[in-house]
Amino acid sequence: MLKLYTYWRSTAAYRVRIALNLKGIDYQSMPVHLVKDGGEQHKAEYKALNPQGLVPALVTEGGEVINQSMAIMEYLETTYPDISILPIDAIGQAKTRAMAQMIVSDIHPLNNLRVLKMLKNSWNQTQVDLWYAHWIHEGFTALEQMLQGSNTSFMNEMFPCISDICLVAQVYNAERFNVPLNDYPRLMEINQRCMELPAFKEAAPEAQLGEVK
């Protein structure tokens, strides 16, 4: 069985949990607590598995370790293709991947735990909050604009794709940081539609009951 090294509140691990659920893939959850004792992800044991010291990491049935949520989701799409999380056509795939990357590369890494921690060394909470909100608004404004005039149920298709997965995890994170999102009606509508699906609901941080402390 696949093993997923995960943390309930990690945005990147949340993405992979959704992808696994959408595809109906059974997996074993391996919790890595990112806060307790200074963070279990920094321990030698975990870094031997994933030298980057970040979650998620997927261990395949053959024992191969794959890190980085985008790489893991692409791997799942290649090896479990029955329920797809990418469009069929090359242009659709490109647009889906681009929207996902706009979140995965240009919003989340600027706002994740390790970065905010570093900024807090020299900034007060208000400055950090402004920084956080800035990158959400930059990215979501562009995404909302790119979706203007589109009428698909999800960002790129009539079924949820990698882009929607990344959106949902990022919206959760933004709401946790109290960023108002009413300027993004199309994104919020898609987010809500996703959250009605069991695959998304069951992947949500608060649904990781065994882990939430």
The binding site for a copy of itself (CB under 8 A) comprises: 51-54, 60, 62, 64, 66-68, 70-72, 74-75, 78-79, 90-91, 93-95, 97-98, 100-102, 104-106, 108-110, 115, 118, 122-123, 127, 131, 134, 139, 141-142, 145-146
CB-nearer residue toward a copy of itself: 28 or 79:
79
Q: If residue 118 lies in a helix (H) or strand (E), which one and from where to where?
A: helix 113-120
DSSP 20-78: HHHTT--EEEEE--SSGGG-GGGSHHHHHH-TT--S-EEE-TT--EEESHHHHHHHHHH
Count, residues in the chain: 213
CB-nearer residue toward a copy of itself: 6 or 208:
6
CB-nearer residue toward a copy of itself: 87 or 208:
87
Burial classification of residue 2, based on how many CB atoms lie within 10 Å of its CB (0-12 exposed, 13-18 middle, 19 or more buried) = middle
Report the nearest approach of a copy of itself to the CB of residue 210 (Å): 27
Residue with tokens 């649904």: 207
CB-nearer residue toward a copy of itself: 9 or 108:
108
CB-nearer residue toward a copy of itself: 41 or 191:
41
Report the nearest approach of a copy of itself to the CB of residue 108 (Å): 8
Report the nearest approach of a copy of itself to the CB of residue 115 (Å): 7
Report the nearest approach of a copy of itself to the CB of residue 185 (Å): 16
Report the nearest approach of a copy of itself to the CB of residue 159 (Å): 19
Classify 172 as helix, strand or coil: helix
CB-nearer residue toward a copy of itself: 29 or 93:
93
- Determine the angle formed by the axes of helices 185-195 and 162-176, rounding to 10 degrees: 100
- Cα–Cα dist 199/213, whole Å: 23
Half-sphere exposure of 33 (CA within 13 A, CB side): 8
Report the nearest approach of a copy of itself to the CB of residue 51 (Å): 4
**DSSP 8-state secondary structure symbol assigned to residue 3:** E
